[in-house]
Structure 1
Amino acid sequence: MPSTPSVRRLDRHYIAMQVGFWAVFAAACIYQSYLLTERGFSDAQSGLLISIRCLSGILCQPLLGGFADRHPQIPLRRIVALSLGLSLAAALVFLLVPLGFGGTALVLVVMGGLELSSYPLMDSMAIQFINAGMPIRYSLGRGIGSMAYALCCAALGWQVGRLGVESTLVTHAALLALEILLVATFPPFQGAAEGARREGAPHSALWLLRRDPAFALMLLAILLGLTGCLPLSNFLLQVVTSRGGTEGDLGLVLFVMGAFELPTAFFFRRLYRRLGGGRLLLLSLFFCLAKAAALFVSGSLTGVLLAQPLQMLGYGLFTPTSVYYVNDSVPPEDQVKGQALMMVASNGLGGVLGSFFAGQTLERGGPNGMLLFCVLSCAAGVLVGAASLRLARRT
């Protein structure tokens, strides 16, 4: 039996994996709407293609998470590395082969499904060690990952201004190859948490939702909130240019946004112990609403920049809270599936609906019409989240 790795090694390696994933995510996503319009697609078509990319994650994540729960003898790192390897193959096709709408949609299905599905499994790789008593600093890794996202956004803004938006595809492929190497070399888990996955047979996603109605209602709140929140990043270019900025300014705005996610890492555990997962999720949805409203009333690039610190208690707080919330709410044998359900409700289905409706409202009502939709969707998420907390207190 291999020796147990040190906490320091696990911390450093997991932080490197977070850095790699969020750099990949930035390269794939922040200029995707601009890339698609440069390839001749309309705003509505771009929104539909981005929705398709997110929809593939909805279909793939429960399948991949269920497979991991049913086959605990297969290391999670192997499943994740293979998924990312297939995504890299699709990324190279997207880079090298001219594609129409159908071909682009097919490539995005593969890339989106496998890249988005890899993240909850990466979370589970850390949670295995945390549940076994090894204090991996997950929130710190997530915060440093956000800083990597911010730095990558700034670098990509410079890159697009000098080399064109197509060059982001080369950066994405190179970063994805590096992330595959990091995942494949992560220390394998051997211990009590793996045994806990074998204590009982894993349940279906429907069983998990029926078992805890408050959990199911919170997932609905997250779906509504993220439907309004994610377009604030995916279609931020249109907001920036409507407020007097340029394509290059998008990198600066995203750098500020990502940088303000880092401080969350230093006070997250204290907040979680004091307020608990449900209240923190509701708080994060409220700040997503506040950011959407701030962007709606902004009248200049300065106003857009001043709205970005709200990210700290919005999406920046949501990501680590959602992982710990699922870990506290779902039986051990269903942990991977539970993380996948959370990702489906947030970045998956929330990304699909957000991108689709944002694309439609952007084409019909411009950036302000899109931002009004985001405000209303986030507000609905806050209301449903409050209802979930009331239901949890009663039950």
Structure 2
Amino acid sequence: MNDTIENNKNLSFRFGLNYFLLLAIYGISSPYLQLMVRRLGYSPAAVGIFLGFFELVGITGPIFLAQKADRFGRLKPFLFASGIMAIAGLALLAPFRIPLVTLISLTFLSLGLKTPIPLLDTSLLRAIEKSAELGKKQPNYGLLRGIGSIGFVVVAIIVQSIPGFDASSAGTIAFAQGILILLFLAGLFALPEVGHTQPRNEKIAFSFKWLDSTFMLGLAVIALGRLAMASVGSFFSMYLTEELHWHAVGAMWALSATVEIPFIMLSWKFIQRKSPMLAVAIASGAIVVRLLIYAIFPTPAGAITGQLLHSLCYGLFQPAAIAFVNLKTPPAERATGMAIYMGLGIGLPSFLGSALGGTIVEALGYRWLFASYTLFAIASLVLFWRHREELTGVR
């Protein structure tokens, strides 16, 4: 069946379903991957190194696969392959406490979990453009990403409600995540194929001329903010269980995902009226406040307050960063552009933040980790301010 934009009557539903199922996987992987590796018996420093490696693989792998998808002209085969790689990674991770096997498993898991995001975003952005060309109703990016966040929240709340899930073995957590990946693979059959506008048998020239100084400056501002947030992504769950002795991992991640939903849905209008990079700067300011709260108020109330700021730290940050990359990337190379953003704007800073963070935790503790990482968010604000005219011109 030619399942394209032209004959698809349920475009928003189909994309919404796949965002829901994809982010549902993250409802377990984001809060619990750090705990899974820790349960294998590794120290906090080793956990930081392993998670850093996980992010490092997420830099180059998705970029390579996304460029292949751009050349191939079809995205769905690569989405299916990603799910299969994620399952393979989980199957290797849980049973073995062998560093080499852990690295191999995290390689598959990183490729499997990080490749779908830029591909699905690219597919949706192409669908929006194609719908506009055909004069059809356009899908709402913010709304559909918000639906994805709902998937995250639903799963995080479910696992939090399971007694003892926070203390479960790596195998139990991997099994639950594997079920969600299978559901995502099933949902892909409903996703329409949105290829690029050039015929697939025509060779596409990838010039990368769009990687100009403005793009790199914007990416640097984004990366510094993400570097600061790496302390949360890689160590917040351990901060809750080891520093606060509070087993509310799923609930706290569900709270952060819940408050981000309205901002993801509504931020698009602000970004269009102002500029994507101004929104990124506002979010970076919120990151500074959030990390200081974790450092100064190591209590459940402090953790809750910090999680509420996720509304800005991600709910505003992520759509703004996506909008910036979308504006600066040619349509035929958008999957590559999104993968570069995922790799250099998210993956590299997450790698550096995770690898460095574990050492800081072992030497100084979690509170100093959060306090010191505010410097990266401050650096993001300074870089934006120095080049604000150039960066805010992208709109």
Same fold (TM > 0.5): yes
Deviates more, 1:249-258 or 1:85-94: 85-94
Displacement, 1:139?
0.8
Do the aligned partners of 1:5 and 1:187 also contact (CA within 8 Å) in 2?
Answer: no
Structure 2 CA distance for aligned equivalents of residues 105 and 43 of structure 1: 16
Distance 1:348 1:2, change over 3 A: closer
Displacement, 1:4?
3.9
- Residue 30 of structure 1 corresponds to 31
Structure 2 CA distance for aligned equivalents of residues 389 and 80 of structure 1: 37
CA RMSD in angstroms comes to: 2.4
- Superimposed CA distance per residue, residues 226-247 of structure 1 (whole angstroms, 9 cap, x where no aligned partner): 111132132112332466342x
Do the aligned partners of 1:59 and 1:113 also contact (CA within 8 Å) in 2?
Answer: no
Displacement, 1:107?
0.6
Structure 2 CA distance for aligned equivalents of residues 173 and 141 of structure 1: 23
Structure 1 CA distance for aligned equivalents of residues 355 and 287 of structure 2: 19
Structure 2 CA distance for aligned equivalents of residues 87 and 244 of structure 1: 31
- Superimposed CA distance per residue, residues 120-154 of structure 1 (whole angstroms, 9 cap, x where no aligned partner): 01111111111111511111111122222123222
Which amino acid in the other structure matches residue 274 of structure 2? L
- Residue 203 of structure 1 corresponds to 206
Do the aligned partners of 2:240 and 2:249 also contact (CA within 8 Å) in 1?
Answer: yes
Displacement, 1:301?
0.7
Distance 1:228 1:392, change over 3 A: closer
Displacement, 1:259?
0.6
Distance 1:141 1:2, change over 3 A: closer
Do residues 118 (structure 1) and 120 (structure 2) align? Answer: no
Q: Percent identity?
A: 20
Structure 2 CA distance for aligned equivalents of residues 393 and 306 of structure 1: 30
Structure 1 CA distance for aligned equivalents of residues 386 and 202 of structure 2: 33
Structure 1 CA distance for aligned equivalents of residues 163 and 224 of structure 2: 32
Structure 1 CA distance for aligned equivalents of residues 387 and 119 of structure 2: 26
Distance 1:243 1:214, change over 3 A: same
Displacement, 1:42?
0.4
Which amino acid in the other structure matches residue 183 of structure 2? L
Structure 1 CA distance for aligned equivalents of residues 50 and 152 of structure 2: 23
Show the 5 A alignment for 1:216-231. Answer: 216-231=216-231
SS state at 1:313 partner: helix
- Residue 164 of structure 1 corresponds to 168
- Residue 189 of structure 1 corresponds to 194
Do the aligned partners of 2:156 and 2:254 also contact (CA within 8 Å) in 1?
Answer: yes
Displacement, 1:289?
2.1
Do residues 336 (structure 1) and 335 (structure 2) align? Answer: yes
Distance 1:144 1:3, change over 3 A: closer
SS state at 2:315 partner: helix
Displacement, 1:204?
4.8
Structure 1 CA distance for aligned equivalents of residues 302 and 341 of structure 2: 32
- Residue 173 of structure 1 corresponds to 178
Displacement, 1:317?
1.4
Do the aligned partners of 2:243 and 2:366 also contact (CA within 8 Å) in 1?
Answer: no
Do the aligned partners of 2:89 and 2:107 also contact (CA within 8 Å) in 1?
Answer: no
- Residue 283 of structure 1 corresponds to 282
SS state at 2:261 partner: coil
Distance 1:200 1:171, change over 3 A: same
Structure 2 CA distance for aligned equivalents of residues 343 and 114 of structure 1: 13
Displacement, 1:7?
7.0
SS state at 1:41 partner: coil
Distance 1:196 1:277, change over 3 A: farther
Structure 1 CA distance for aligned equivalents of residues 346 and 80 of structure 2: 20
Runs in 1 of length 4+ with deviation above 6 angstroms? 196-200
Structure 2 CA distance for aligned equivalents of residues 391 and 4 of structure 1: 36
Displacement, 1:271?
0.7
Show the 5 A alignment for 1:1-395. Answer: 4=5, 9-72=10-73, 75-95=74-94, 97-132=95-130, 133=132, 134-159=137-162, 161-162=164-165, 164-166=168-170, 167-189=172-194, 194-195=197-198, 201-205=204-208, 207-209=209-211, 212-241=212-241, 244-246=244-246, 248-392=247-391
- Superimposed CA distance per residue, residues 293-325 of structure 1 (whole angstroms, 9 cap, x where no aligned partner): 222222311111012221111111122222222
- Superimposed CA distance per residue, residues 66-92 of structure 1 (whole angstroms, 9 cap, x where no aligned partner): 1122222xx211111122212222222
What are the ranges of 5 or more consecutive residues in structure 1 without an aligned counterpart? none
Calculate the TM-score normalised by the size of structure 1.
0.90
What are the ranges of 5 or more consecutive residues in structure 2 without an aligned counterpart? none
Structure 2 CA distance for aligned equivalents of residues 7 and 302 of structure 1: 47
Distance 1:53 1:299, change over 3 A: closer
Distance 1:374 1:202, change over 3 A: farther
Displacement, 1:2?
5.3
> How many corresponding residue pairs?
386
Distance 1:222 1:200, change over 3 A: farther
Displacement, 1:8?
6.0
Distance 1:68 1:39, change over 3 A: same
Structure 2 CA distance for aligned equivalents of residues 235 and 129 of structure 1: 36
Do the aligned partners of 2:222 and 2:321 also contact (CA within 8 Å) in 1?
Answer: no
Distance 1:198 1:143, change over 3 A: farther
